[in-house]
Chain A
Amino acid sequence: MIRIQGLRKFFGRQPVLRGVDLDVATGEIMIVIGRSGGGKSVLLKHMLGLLRPDAGAVVVDGTDITKLRGAALEAVRRRYGVVFQGGALFDSMSVFDNVAFPLREKTALGAGDIAQRVEEKLAQVGLVDMGHKNPAEISGGMRKRVAIARALVTEPEIVFFDEPTTGLDPILVNTIHHLIQDLHRTFRFTAVMVSHEIPEIFEIADRVAMLHEGVIIETGDARGIQNSTNPIVQQFIHGAVEGAHHVA
């Protein structure tokens, strides 16, 4: 379980997170929605231990990771898989080597076992026979799928998705969402996803939290969020220019 308590973060004098409280239960898909620039990726980076908060805690199974450094933090991160917004594939390596990299560096598996697991993961994300290509030679949708394969190849307990479908066409958005849902059913990992793909995310989310101006203003299941009486939530999910929140 991930518990975020009173998380605050300033960049210079600019408050980005102003006291975020959020619980993510083991095995669920939690999707954090909110406007662009609203601090969703900053919140995710705190959960990954890439940023340190000015106040508050990120507690993963009883351990506050904001207090951890070095080997202790790495021990928590070994349980993680992360799909970055742009994929963050190593452009000096082939698709195969990108997916194989965490196995080669973090496990004692032999070359044959690694090759088998990589091919298996690439097949699960629909990229059979693409291992020899470089990330620059494949499409944006394929890069996202390679990033998902790399995140899942070590069979992590918790997987973070930072806007995994941004910039993709609607068909690819649904393809990626269904892929995540299928993989989640198979591997039962805890998933935290940052997204603003409305309404597509309601099909795969167990729970949705809305981050607005640095605080979580609403949390609930997909139906609860869609029926929310909060005017800011309603304005966001309907994409209305006029509403409770002034759009600059």
Chain B
Amino acid sequence: MTDWSAGRETWPLPARWVEALGEGTLYLVESIGRFGRFLGQAVALVFIPPLKFRRLAGRVYFVGFKSLTIVILTGAFTGMALGLQVFLTLQRVGSEAFVGPAVGIALVRELGPVLTAVFVTGLAGSALTAELGIMRITEQIDAFMVMALNPMRYLVVPAILAGIITFPMLTAIFDVAGIYGGYLVAVMLLGTSPGTYFGQMQAFADMTDVMVGFWKSLCFGGLVPWVCTYKGFHCGHGAEGVSRATTEAVVLSCVLILIFNYFLGSVLP
């Protein structure tokens, strides 16, 4: 193999900058390509039987059921904080009657899908990356391969499908908890009438808002397990490699959630 960069220490500085830029670009393009191919392989395996239903059920339990408590808790407190701040702001212009629709629409369209995805990333996504990372460094993923079995079928596909199944459900639960959290503050503590809170919400929020939240949560449900399993699958060596992969998975997932949230919010009605 020819090493074209032999003697690079003697190259002039601009040539080394160009080489570094080229190396960086190649690495970036290669990473994006690998990332896309990883998803392509996983999607293809969804349609090529056998689908591992027991593993899928396990992942639904892991991603969905185990995140339930934190989703209800954070949903309720998000709704309470939102109810308080929206009530105090609307009170300045004498429109506190609109606290219900403001809380409802903000939760259903934006905060529900985004915050649910972020919390589930921190809870289940990070665990998924760490689990696959440890399997990688202890050669368990290699063991699948040398048994002539595709590890993606067992480890990645169930996780992505579980995300797509559970994220919309968790988001709906977060929304309901948030709406009742807002109710607790706006109605029971600050004196808005219950009829006004829910009546105005019903008048202003419609199915379009619910569907925007649904499509976003569906998208995040595929995105988060994709990023987290990819990072675990391609983690570096040792404990440091697993730790770095887990951090990268959480950070990248959260950044992509916010970016996708903006673009989906722009595209969806």
> Which residue on A lies nearest to B8, using beta carbons?
A13
B1 touches A82 (CB 8 A): no
Distance (whole angstroms) from the CB of B236 to the closest CB of chain A: 13
Q: By the criterion CB–CB under 8 Å, are A77 and B148 in contact?
A: yes
- Stretch of B135-143, B207-215, B258-266 contacting A (4+ beta carbons < 8 Å): B135-143
Secondary structure dominating the interface of B: loop
Counting chain B CB atoms within 10 Å of each CB, which of A86, A89, A105, A106 scores highest?
A: A105
- A84-B139, A86-B138, A86-B139 known; A77+B146 contact, CB < 8 A: yes
Residues of A contacting B147 in the complex (Cβ-Cβ under 8 angstroms): 77, 101-102, 105-106
Q: Are A88 and B3 in contact (CB under 8 A)?
A: no
Residue A48, interface by CB 8 Å: yes
How far is A77 from B3 in the complex, measured between Cα atoms in Å? 33
**What is the distance, in angstroms, from A190's C-beta to the closest C-beta of chain B?**
15
Is the Cβ of B148 less than 8 Å from the Cβ of A88?
A: no
A48 to B148, CA, bound (A): 10
Q: At the interface, yes or no: A80 with Cβ under 8 Å from chain B?
A: yes
State whether the Cβ of B57 lies closer than 8 Å to any Cβ in chain A. Answer: no
| Minimal beta-carbon separation of A90 from chain B (angstroms) | 6
B1, B140, B147 — most chain A CB neighbours (10 Å): B147
Bound state CA distance, A48 and B139, in angstroms? Answer: 13
Residues of chain A within 8 A (CB-CB) of B143 are 82, 84, 88, 90
Q: Could you name 6 residue pairs across A and B whose Cβ atoms are closer than 8 Å?
A: A48-B142, A50-B146, A75-B148, A86-B138, A91-B138, A91-B140
A residues in contact (CB < 8 Å) with B: 8, 10, 13, 45, 48-50, 54-55, 74-75, 77-78, 80, 82, 84-86, 88-91, 101-102, 105-106, 160
Further 11 A-B residue pairs, CB within 8 A, beyond A49-B145, A90-B140, A106-B148? A10-B1, A13-B5, A48-B146, A50-B146, A75-B148, A77-B145, A80-B148, A82-B146, A85-B139, A86-B138, A102-B147
